[in-house]
Structures are given as C-alpha cells and as structure tokens.
Structure 1
Amino acid sequence: MLFLFLALLVPFLSLPAAGPAAAAGKPAVTLSTAQAGAGGSVTVNGSGWRPRTLVMLLICGQATPARGVVGGTNSCANADGRAVTTDADGRFSRPLPVAEPPAPCPCVVHAATATGAKAQADAVFQVAGHPVRPLPAATTGGRLSVLTDTRLEGSGGLLTWFGAPPSRTLVFTVGNVGTGPVENPVFRVGTAHGVFAPQWDERQWHGTIRPGGKARVELPVELAAGAHGDYTVSLEYGGKVLAEQPWGVGRPWGVTLFWILLCLVVPAALFRIGMAVVDRVRPRPAVRRPARARRPGRRRPVPEPEPAALSHATLPWFTPDGAPGGTALPPAPHDDPPTLPTGFTAQAPSPTPTGSAPPSAPAAFPTPARPAPPTAPAASATPVSPAPPPPAAPPVSPPPPTHPTSSPSPTTPHRKGST
C-alpha cells in the first residue's frame, strides 16, 4: 500500500516544475489556423514569455520567421492589432481579427513585448486574397546587429521648459556579423507619439566596421517644439528595425505660466490705459484758490453822504413861490403870446426887491406835495434840481407884435397876490 501511494504521488509532485521550465523557454506563438480572409479571426496562443508581461499582436507583410519583419512595423496592420498580458506561467491566448497589411505577403503574426526586456516571436500566416511578392534579396556583405540595449543620453534645459524642441542622443553598440566590412552605414531613426506610426529621419554614421568587429554609435534625436508625452524612438537599418527605446517628455510648464501671466497682465494693462484715457478726457472741476490774508494797514476814511437835493413839486397847480422846497427857476422864454381872458388889462410888472418870491395864484384845492425821491449827490457843492413846469402866466397886456413877451427876471420875484 505504501508503494502504491508513493507511485500515485510522484506525478503530482512533478507537475509544478513543468510551469517554470516552460516559462523559462524561448518565447513562441501558435495559431488556430494558418489561413483566413480579411474580416475573419484567428486565435493566437503564446508560451515561454515572462510572467505578467504586456504583449502586442500584429499581422505583418513582407516577413518570415527566419528574417523577421523586413519593413518594420510600417509593414503591419497596426490599427487592427491587439494587446494581451501573460499569466503567471508566461502563457496567453487571444483572438486576433484578420486584416490586410500594407505590405504584400508572405505574412506572419508578429508578437513582441511592449514593456520590459525586448522579446519577439513570429508565426507564418496567410491572408486569403492578399497579393504575394518575394522578399528582397539579403545583402551578402556586412550585416549589423545591435549588441547592447539602446539608451537616450542628455537632458532638457531652461529653453525646453519654455517650449524649445527637446533633443537627446541615441547611444548603442552594433557588431558586424557579416562577411564583409560595413562603411559609413546609414541608420533610420523614427519617433512615434503614443500609438501613431513613427516619423523617420536618416542619420549617417561615419566609420568602418570590420567583420566580427563592433562600434559605439551615437545618433541625435530631436522632437518638435512644445512636444510632450510618451514617445518611442525606433532604430532601423537595412529595412529592419533593430531596437526601440521609450522616451517620456515632460510638459513645458513655462509656456503654461506664460499664458497665465498673459491673461492677467493684458487685462490689467488695458484697464490702466482706459482709466488714463478717461482721466484725460473728463472735465476738470474749478480749482478755488485759498483766500489771502489781508495785510493790516491804514483804514481809508469813508466819505459822508451829502444831503440829497430837494426837488421842487412838479404839480401844475403850484406856483414857483408856493411850491415846497424853495424858489424855482423861471420858465424859459418862448415866442407864443399868452392868451388873456376877457375883461383883463395887461399891466407892467412892478419891480420887486431881489430875493423875494413871485406871487402865486391861490390854489383852489391845495394838495400836499409828494416827497421827492432821493437823488445821488451832485459833483458840485450846490445841488441842482430839475426845472419845474412853467407856472400860470399872470394877466398881462398883449405885447407888441414885433417883440415877444419878456419873461420875468430870475432875480425879480413877484409878490403874492399882485396882478
């Protein structure tokens, strides 16, 4: 019984060792079918890969498992590729849609690691209805192969932080595994952003590599201005991709800072300019000068107002001597003879002493005179009052027709009550 139990236990003990042994083998892929038309599907099974590794699956033209993909990934249907992650044993299984590659057949299903150490495997596959052409002849001279991992040397500067084109130097070591020397080889360096196809630039290395020899090659790599993100640098020689190197480019934060400052400074400058224009065109308020302090000095004497001249009454029923305010001036001489009433006889005026007032007729209705309005002081010392209206003429005899009636002398006033 003990021997029977040990015999049954031995197969189970040997099973866990098979997984690591298979995982440690060379990566390989197998297909569920060797031919399919466009629009179909083929299942890809892989083994011998590193555990937990991301693997890309592509259908490529102008390729064989012996020579690999001659035209590089440009000969593959990249838009219809698939990605798969290996399990703990380094195995995977993934359906892959069939699509026509840009290059003619012979075709393969190409599997390559996307992260970590480079590993790849190819399986022959025929796309039904796709044209077939022979592969280009292999060169019989020297043949270069990358002996070490590629790396990017260099760093960005202050200008790169403000959007200058980032640049690096691709450094690797190649060896001549052919039978002839290789002189001045021309490499193609491609840069791809994300999942886009690489853009190739030719870089020539000056020198000669003997058969079996090796050389250290440095090629410049430069991106566009303001480039940032995840890039992939590819190296190609003789129509075959030799190596790929990831490159993470930082964001040019200086450009972002510039735009932030521009959004703050420009509105502030426009506001200041607008306020200056408004301050210049708006009307200015009147500026009041401060009152000056009066200097102490001699006070000027204020002239006393002169007494206002009394004006004579201008009423027609007052005689010059009876008008309030004093003696009035005689009327001016005139040519018209006065009209005498019937029954009166003209008599010559009797002489009167100088200074007496002429007689005045009794007023039938005495009316008090209105007070005269005050007048401004005259320039001379003697006030002059306006001339009163002519008084009523006394009954006199008509003068001769040739001589006008003479007015009484201003110095000979008439007595009151004389006729």
Structure 2
Amino acid sequence: MGTARIEPFPMNRRCYDMKSFRWFALAACALPIAAQAHRPLTLHDDIHRALIRAMAQVDRYDSSSDGQPGGRTRRLLGQLLARPGELYSPLVKSPTFTNEVWWPGFVDTFTPQLQEQDVLGGLQRQLGLTKARPGIDIAVTPGDVAAFRGREVAASARKAGIDIDIFNKVLDMHSPRVVEAAHDAVALQMLRDDMARVPREQWTAYGIDAESYQRYMKAGHAHELRQGDTLYLSSLVATAVKTRGIALDASGEPQLPAAFRVARAAAAFKDRVGYYSGRPFCTGNAVHPDRPRDPSALDHNQPLCFIDATDRDVLRWFHHEARLEHRGLRIHENTHHSVERLTRILGILMPLMDLAAFVEVAEATATRELAESSALPSAEVEADAAESRAGALLCGIRAR
C-alpha cells in the first residue's frame, strides 16, 4: 500500500530559509563544539547527533548511500531493530556498529561512570526505540494503576513523565480530544518541573511564566483558557521539539525527547478514554497475535498496543490521530473556540514532529558542525544538502 500523505495544517506555518535554518540548527545545540570537546558527554546530551559526528569523522557510512536522506540514521536503525520495517520490533542486543573499531573511543567520550550499555541504552531511548511495558521498560506500581485507572494508561503516562493531577486536569478539560490533552499535559509538566528546579529569582531569565501555569490549573473549562497562555504553552513544546533538547524532571533526571513524550502522553489519554471496538490490542505486555504489525495498518486507523509499541511507532500513530481528531472536531464541535485552539496547536506542532525532519535536523547539525570545525572537509557539501532536505521536510509533512 502506498504512503499516506498528510496535508499541512492550515495555520501560520513558517518555512525556514536555509540561512536561518543553519543558524537554528547550530544555536539549538546545548553547548558549543569547543565546550563539548572539553567535557565528557552525559545521557542528557544528544547522543544521536554525537554518534553521527563520530561516524562521519571515521567515514564509516555514507549518508547518501541508500539514495535517501538520513542515511546514517537509517543504517543505525537497521542495526538497532530486529525488524525495522515492522511495528513492535524488538531491539538487537548487540548492534553491528558496536563491533566497529571506533565504538570504544566513542563510549570513552562519555563520563567515566557510564558503561557501554548505558550509552547504547541512551541512544535507543533518544531514537524512540524503547517501549513502555510495565515492569520491563517502566516502573508501574499498583497505586499508579489505580490512580490512572488502567495498567496501560499508567505505563504510557509514566513514560511521558506526566503527574497524575496534571493528567486528570487536562483530561477534564479536553476529553475525548487526546492530542490537545497530550500537548497541554507535556507543556504543563515541563513548566512545573522547571519551576521546581530553577530558583524563583531566575524564572524570568528562563522564560518561566508561573501565572500561565496557575491560570490553567484553576480553569474550570477549556473555554476559559487564554489565547496567550495557549501560545506560550505551545512555544514551550515547540522549542523542546525543535532543539531536540532533553528535558529534565523536577529531580534532574532526563525525560524522553519532546516529540516522543507528546505522542506517549496521547497514547495514555487514548487508552483512558477507551475505544469503540471490544477487540483486545494487548495480551499481557505483548501485542495481541491477531493485531497487524505492518505500519500500513495505521492508514486504516488501527489502534496500537501502546505498551509493546516503540516510541517511534507511537509517534507514527500520533500523526494519524491528530488528523482524525482535527477533522472530527471541525465536523462535530459546535464551538469555534475549540476548533481554533486545536488548529493553532497542530499548526505549530505537527510540522516539527515528522520523523524524517526529526532525523534530518540531527544529521544536518552534526555535519555542519564538522564542516565548520574543519574536522571533515567534505562535510560542507553534505551539510548543505542535509539542511536543504530538512528545510523541505519542515515545510511539508508526510506520514511514514
């Protein structure tokens, strides 16, 4: 079956010119190249981007070897996943690239307390290859199951890092609109965690607007939400997705990359609001044997067994769910406010959450860094091509 095309959402969706995109890609790095070179990496850093740099420097892979953009990442995924073309693929325990001569040197660029499996696990998590199986991938207590009203709900919500009071608040505000609820839940959680970690006197410098958070949590209905607060919350999520930054929770532990985090939150809300079909999606921690594993099943609006799906699988589903939710709201919702708010959120968010653009930004940034540091002379041409492809992807969305 052919690839389903998802048309852009009809909002103010700006397409970056290459000069501004180049600036964005470099400015998005958490630290300058020189600073990164003089300090060990941690699991808070962009491991994917660092690995692309290492691969390019030793010239182990050609990013255009398969004739498609994102070639290095595609090669990585082919080695990290046992069945890369299917939903629910398990991980490969020892990917081939870990036997390359450059791999031990790459691991040594991380802090000494991190072992090879820690680095590999961080890469798998940042690339969206991990699942949400209770007791295996994520800790879920009986209290969590009771609070979130479901084992699968609790697993996805915990992996998205959403507190129960925020989860219930946005559910009350937006149910059954799971995409809008997920956006707000992640934004509010990011804001709460920043308020807990950052000293109050630095809130303004860090762009922390506590009043937006307080107004939302006190609101009794979605119609009471201010447009300015919606734009502020959207900017928090959009910035996190664009920069590929690893958000920290209140205790300083790294969360999922923002795109996967929003998708996981949406999965939790979807399992919570329920389905029309009575057919089981999961059996224990695994997908039910009768459920399809071909990604084309998403074209027919087939739900996933979210706890056995990888974060990349869930993000693919999220794109389809967003389109369905937007279309259904326009047809059935009686108030203009709800349609306008969801359309505004999706117009900002969806162009940034395409998997291909997600990969291209990382590869464009890594190769540009190498070119500008003169570490790889041929990277200049490759970086220009990667930036061009990434810019095009940010201006047109395709579901993959």
Quick check: TM above 0.5? no
TM-score (norm 1): 0.20
More helix per residue: 2
Looking at CA atoms only, which structure, 1 or 2, has the larger radius of gyration?
Answer: 1
- Report 1 or 2 for greater relative contact order, CA contacts < 8 Å, sequence distance ≥ 6: 2
TM-score (norm 2): 0.21
